[in-house]
Amino acid sequence: MTAPAWDVVGLGENSVDDVYRIPASPGPNLKLPVSAHHVFYGGQVATTLATCASFGLRATYIGAFGSGEHGVRLRAVLEQRRVDLSHAVVRRAANRHAVILVDERTGDRTVLWERDARLALTPEEIPRTLISRARLLHIDDVDESAALAAAEVARAAGLPVTSDLDRVADRTEALVTAVTIPIFAEHVPAALTGESDLERGLRKLRRAHHLMLCVTLGARGAIVLEGDRVHHVAATPVNVVDATGAGDVFRGAFIYALLRGDAPVDILRFANTAAACSCTRSGALDGVPTLDEVARAMATTRTI
């Protein structure tokens, strides 16, 4: 039997982030001074794959970069972090860009983004053989048709499929059904089901092929519905500098622990700790921790 060429194939977003640190969360009719401004690189799937690569997994990226200076720099940063880009494409367009406002008191952020339509991927561009020879596929909800096509290929090959679902759009329910381990932002299950109780919402969303359903809860940790059992693991306490990319790091750590064969509670504990480590630094890719850093943080937490 041929060994998998890649541990993780990721399909979805990359981004150039203009990060502004401000003294309070933005609100109506406010004028706020900027205490610091930096350009960072990230994007939800790009950061997840960089996390997987940091932990030693072989990760390859399917996505589109812009042709300008920022796109060139972002590709270089990902390659330095050992993310394979041989299946990515470059389009004559500006790279996906976000303005991120970070509340310097709490690390919470507001994200304003724009993306040129020329960066969109189509189902016809999906490298099906590549996906079928991986151990796991990770998708987001940016190019929904391409993500659905990729998930279909992966499931036909018997692969687990994880997701980054942080909004509700026309095909979100189809994406939930297409994957085997949906990972949601906290507000998504209620928006899809109308259930204010998170556990009831997850039970409504569960399909027979779902191995687990996971929800990230920010400062409250994360929960998983595994069969009829709900597991909740609290967040690892840290002094938050910037929460940008924490959910993406969580997903990368979740994937690593899943492929390692960890039990659900241990997956959550590891992923929560990795996400917490990322919050102690600014930026998405710049916040990706090493495996040793996460291990040390877990050991320290256990001794408290």
pLDDT-based confidence at residue 2 (cuts at 50, 70, 90)? low
Q: Is the pLDDT of residue 78 over 90?
A: yes
What are the sequence ranges of the domains in the chain?
6-303
Whether 25 shows a pLDDT value over 90: the answer reads no
Q: Work out the burial of residue 250: count CB atoms within 10 Å of its CB; fewer than 13 is exposed, 13-18 middle, 19 or more buried.
A: buried
Quick one: average pLDDT of 296-303?
Answer: 77
The predicted pLDDT at position 111 comes to 86
Closest alpha carbon to 199 in 181, 186, 218: 186
**How high is the pLDDT of residue 100?**
86
Percent pLDDT > 90 in the chain is: 80
Instruction: Tell me the C-alpha distance between 47 and 191, whole Å.
Output: 26
Least confident of 37-41, 240-244, 279-283: 240-244
Helix axes 291-303, 264-278, angle to 10 degrees: 110
Q: Does domain 6-303 have CATH number 3.30.365.10?
A: no
| pLDDT (0 to 100) of residue 3 | 73
User: Residue 302 pLDDT > 60, yes or no?
Assistant: no
Least confident of 64-73, 205-214, 240-249: 240-249
* Statement: residue 303 has pLDDT above 70: no
Residue 106, pLDDT above cutoff 90 = no
Q: Is the pLDDT of residue 264 over 60?
A: yes
